[in-house]
Structure 1
Amino acid sequence: MKNIKNIGFVLIALGLLFSIAYYIKTNSRSAITYETEQLKNKTIEDKIVATGSVVPEDEVNIVPQISGIIQEIYVDEGDQVQAGDLLAKIKVIPNEQTLNSAEGRVKTTQIILKNSEKEYYRNKKLFEKGIISEQDFNSIELRFNQDKQNLENAKSDLQIIRLGSIGGSALTNTNVRSTISGTILQVPVKEGDQAIEANTFNPGTTIATVADLNKMIFEGRVDEGEVSKLRTGLPLKIEIGAIEDKVYEAKLTLIAPKGIEVAGAIQFQIEGEVYLDDEYIIRAGYSANATIVTKVKENVLAIDEYLLQFDNKTKEAFVEIEISDQNFEKRKIEIGISDGVFAEVLSGVSLNDKIKVWNKTEPIKRGEVEDVDDEYKLDR
């Protein structure tokens, strides 16, 4: 019985000690001194950043006008060319079936012309003697002239099939020439490759890609939530990844009327004319970022965004204002535009108010969560 009492006293003593320790722990607070900051007068810009690349405004794929084997290539990548310069030459390999058909047409028109010629001279004599009328003779003469022209056409077709051009032509189909002035970006073929002419069913074989690198545009995309802020004519600042500490001016020239889905999000294509200088050589395809300023507020009250807090329930912004030494009260704040670092202050805080900086954290004791929520509930 005595042992039971001793055990009871020990348990009571342990419980008392545990209660005292818990009370001390839960009611002790670490001494934290919070710093304060004040609002600033700043110019704030609402910006949109679009990722993309810098590409030539005029870029053309040069394709041959006739199918065949690439006999010679006269340019290399990086060469400067003018419109009309010779890039390559095609050797025509005629299709046997097409060649036979053309040769057969020449022979057929020769036979027809021979008969027309006999008929023409026979009726000419009859017309001179007044046996046939002038109208009948004119019809025979017209048919004779048409047959002569048909033979010439058949011979020309045969020569094109054999050689790729008509004899005496200044610009033959076998010569591949540049259609614009610029720089050779790519020569994706080599001598001996098969080349196919462009037609309705095939874009043809690209002999070379030519672009004017003096006229560059920025191509990028923006999210659907930001496209409504844009309008053509807005200035852009282009930063090219391969060129450090250099910003190019540009002007927004195109906002796509239709969005495209990219990784589950809708984005809109934009284009901007880039104003170049002679300091750097801009190569086609450089990755770049475009900064677009959509709104500017000058000399407005601004707050560092890291000072802002947000109510968990209402999602409204608030700050804590020092009303006495290390004594703060919660105050709702209305903010305007933001540049990602500073936000415009519309109401709620004045220039002289000292705002609490959450530079340290203090653990919240169990059982006080609800009290803290009630303490920080926004005034309605």
Structure 2
Amino acid sequence: MKKVLLGLFIILFLGLSGGLGYYFYKKSNTDPVVYKTEAPFETEIVKKTVATGSIVPRKEVQVKSQVSGIVQELYAEAGEVVKKGQLLAKIKIVPNMVSVNNAETQLQTAKLNFNEAKRELARYEQLYEQKVIPEQEYQKYKADYNLKREALQAAESNLLLVREGASRKSGQSSNLVYSTIDGMLLDVPVKVGTSIIERNNFNEGTTIATVADMRSLIFEGKIDESEVGKLKENMDLLLTIGAIENRVFDAKLEYIAPKGVLEEGSIKFPIRAKVLLDEKDFIRAGYSANADIVLDKRDKVLAIKESMLKFDKDQPYVEVETAPQVFEKRVIKTGLSDGINIEVVSGLDKKEKIKVPDANIASI
């Protein structure tokens, strides 16, 4: 029994000795670790924030009719460039029978009053010529005749307006719709035969056309409250429009709202920027866009990748190579960062190499 136990012990000992020997053999033949290094570099660092919004015309108006009725003619289509005062549509007036009846009654009354004043003036004119009445009394009847004549003309114009939307005295028609500004027709939402409502104090009326100046565009967006304090007017913006690829447009910040609005659980502040366009540029209204707002910028500064930084009690440092694969801790002073690269103010030289954290390769 003792011989069996002794044999097992010897076999176990030899097995452990062989395993340890193999482990140390492999360990001695493992290639040494070689750490990657990178050198500082000169670059441009831009710190920016992003605002989302859309491109809209600075001047956009809705053209409405002054009378109710049915669209009889349309003289322009969406996409056309129009001038101020250009005829856009003609409205066929459907007269209100109550209004027509009142206007006709007023006209008949005005005619009766005028005819009576005319007869009285003719009678008193003869008396005046015969020196029977003084001139003062004659002038009174003449003034009354003139007033009744004006009232008759006003009643005739009123009836014409109610029936046809045109004034004989002014020579203008209220059933004709004209463009109020120079610009492009963005939309003509009505068709020939569409019934429309006039613009008045009680409703906005039916929109006949939407006209906008497409040469003067602005970016309207919103920015988070955490960033709004860093903004100021006349800052540069870089606009990226989703519908226009491989193109960045310049813009100038011109307005920051003094009051924020609650949106999706956070306070955001509306902003507005002027879009700077070339003569050949054409951007459609309503495009969604992102605005990169430049908060700070450094040109040709020494920088490293921000991922290479390490911290010791909030003190940034890097590991600088002093000899091949020998590194020392070096505290540095940093400046502006764009989230990828960070400016090195002091503590590093352009020719020095820095250890890349958590990156190594096995040497061959």
Q: TM-score, normalised by structure 2?
A: 0.79
How far apart are residue 299 of structure 1 and its match? 2.8
Q: Which residue in 2 is equivalent to 1:162?
A: 163
Residue 61 (structure 1) aligned with residue 59 (structure 2): no
2:29 aligns to what? none
Q: 1:268 is matched with which residue? A: 270
Q: What amino acid does structure 2 have at the position aligned with 1:56?
A: P
Q: Distance in 1 between matches of 2:142 and 2:170?
A: 30
Q: Secondary structure at the match of 1:159?
A: helix
Is the 8 Å Cα contact of residues 68 and 198 (structure 2) preserved in structure 1? yes
Determine if contact 1:187/1:207 at 8 Å carries over to the other structure. Answer: yes
Counterparts of 2:318 and 2:198 in 1: how far apart (Å)?
Answer: 71
Moved more, 254-263 or 87-96: 254-263
Whole-angstrom distance in 2 between the partners of 1:286 and 1:141: 68
Alignment of 1:69-84 (within 5 A): 69-84=70-85
Secondary structure of 1:359 counterpart: strand
Conserved? CA contact 1:32–1:360, under 8 Å: no
Structure 2 residue aligned with 1:341: 340
Q: Secondary structure at the match of 1:88?
A: strand
| Cα separation, partners in 2 of 1:277 and 1:236, compared to 1, 3 Å | farther
Q: Residue 236 of structure 1 contacts residue 272 of structure 1 at CA under 8 Å; is this kept in 2?
A: no
Q: Which residue of 1 aligns with 2:14?
A: none
Give the AA of the match of 1:297: R
> Structure 1 pair 34/115, CA: closer, same or farther in 2 (3 Å)?
same
| CA displacement at 1:61 relative to structure 2 | 1.4
In the alignment, the residues of structure 2 paired with residue 338 and residue 90 of structure 1 have an alpha-carbon distance, to the nearest angstrom, of 63
Counterpart residue type for residue 355 of structure 2: K
> What is aligned with 2:137?
136
AA partner of residue 104 (structure 2): E
**In the alignment, structure 1 residue 355 sits paired with structure 2 residue 354:** yes
1:23-72 CA-partner distances (Å, limit 9, x unpaired): xxxxxxxx865423333232322223322222223322111121111112
What is the SS of the residue equivalent to 2:77? coil
Letter in 2 for 1:303: I
Secondary structure, in 3 states, of the residue corresponding to 1:229? coil
User: Structure 1 CA distance, aligned partners of 2:163 and 2:146?
Assistant: 26
For residue 307 of structure 1, report the CA deviation from its aligned partner.
1.8
Question: RMSD across aligned C-alpha pairs, in angstroms?
Answer: 3.3
CA contact (8 A) 1:35 1:359 kept: no
Decide whether the 8 Å contact of 2:70 with 2:194 is kept in 1.
Answer: yes
Query: Aligned residues, how many?
Result: 335
What pairs with 1:115-134 in structure 2 (closer than 5 Å)?
115-134=116-135
Partner of 1:252: 253
- Could you tell me which amino acid in structure 1 is paired with residue 301 of structure 2? V
Q: Amino acid of the residue matched to residue 345 of structure 2?
A: L
1:98 is matched with 99
Q: 2 CA distance for matches of 1:144 and 1:59?
A: 50
Sequence identity percentage: 43
Q: Counterparts in 2 of 1:155-194, with a 5 A limit?
A: 155-167=156-168, 171-194=172-195
The question of 1:308 aligning with 2:282 is answered no
1:335 CA drift (Å):
2.9
Q: In the aligned structure 2, how far is the partner of 1:146 from the partner of 1:170?
A: 22
Once the two structures are superposed, residues 268-324 of structure 1 have per-residue CA deviations (whole angstroms, 9 ceiling, x without a partner) of 32222321342x54212222223333332223232212223456xx66645445566
Unmatched tracts of structure 1, length 5 or more: 1-30, 362-380
- What whole-Å deviation, never above 9, does each CA across 1:162-185 have from its counterpart, x for those lacking one? 001124865421122222333222
Q: Which amino acid aligns with 1:252?
A: L
Give CA-to-partner distance per residue, 1:62-118, whole Å, 9 cap, x none.
Answer: 111211111122322223333333222101011122111111111222222233223
- Structure 2 unaligned segments of length 5 or more: list them: 1-31
TM-score of the aligned structures, taking structure 1 as reference length: 0.76
The residue that corresponds to 1:207 in the other structure is 208
Moved more, 96-105 or 151-160: 96-105
- 2 CA distance for matches of 1:304 and 1:326? 20
CA contact (8 A) 1:248 1:276 kept: no
Q: Answer yes or no: is the 8 Å Cα contact 1:127–1:133 preserved in 2.
A: yes
CA distance in 2, matches of 1:283, 1:268: 21
Q: Is the 8 A contact 2:218 2:272 kept in 1?
A: no
Alpha-carbon distance change, 319 to 135 in structure 1, aligned in 2, over 3 angstroms: farther
Aligned partner of 1:296 in structure 2 is: 297
Secondary structure at the counterpart of residue 358 of structure 2: coil
Q: Which AA in structure 1 matches 2:344? A: V
In 2, distance between residues paired with 1:77 and 1:191? 14
Distance 1:82 1:42 in 2: 50
For residues 160 and 151 of structure 2, the distance between their equivalents in structure 1, rounded to whole angstroms, comes to 14
Cα contact 2:301–2:343 (8 A) shared by 1: yes
Instruction: Determine helix, strand or coil for the equivalent of 1:207.
Output: strand
